[in-house]
């Protein structure tokens, strides 16, 4: 069984990225798929973890040492809008988890749409 990447809060964001990028590249090569460039990998990594943080009852921030810190939010707070992907299709979901717009394989457009419309999507 292959190792699964788990974000290590004791390491810096960059150290976690390097570890994830190496694991992701090896996995892609194992499937005969060209690995991402470092730039593509950085965008994907940033969005994977930013999206994951939007979907929890916690808020995360990077401290001055580059380590993610978990800042507990009110448990009654509503879920936040987020970008999700299923089988390579990217979509934006509102605060209720409903799909608002699909973007096919264009992850960057989905992220930009989320950032531009975040407040409006949060109101649902």
Task: Look up tokens 């989905």; give the residue.
Answer: 110
Q: How much is the pTM? A: 0.44
**Minimal CA–CA distance to 94: which of 79, 109, 112, 108?**
79
Q: Which of 51, 45, 53, 54 is nearest to 20 (CA)?
A: 45
Give me 70's structure tokens: 């978990």
CA–CA separation, 75 and 58 (whole Å):
8
How far, in Å, CA of 30 to CA of 67, rounded? 31
Q: What is the tens place of the pLDDT at every residue in 97-122? A: 788 999 999 988 988 898 888 888 87
pLDDT for 26-47, tens place per residue? 989 998 999 999 999 988 888 7
Q: Supply the pLDDT for residue 19.
A: 92
Going from N- to C-terminal start, the domains of the chain cover 7-74, 78-124
């Amino acid at each position: 069984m292959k190792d699964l990447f788990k974000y290590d809060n004791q390491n810096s964001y960059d150290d976690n990225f390097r570890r994830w990028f190496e694991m992701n590249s090896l996995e892609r090569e194992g499937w005969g798929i060209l690995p991402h460039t470092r730039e593509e990998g950085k965008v994907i990594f940033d969005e994977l973890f930013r999206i994951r943080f939007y979907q929890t009852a916690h808020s995360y921030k990077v401290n001055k040492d580059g380590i993610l810190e978990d800042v507990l939010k009110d448990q009654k707070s509503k879920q936040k809008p987020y970008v999700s992907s299923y089988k390579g299709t990217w979509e934006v979901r509102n605060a209720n988890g409903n799909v608002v717009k699909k973007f096919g394989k264009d992850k960057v457009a989905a992220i930009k749409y989320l950032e531009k419309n975040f407040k409006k999507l949060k109101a649902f």
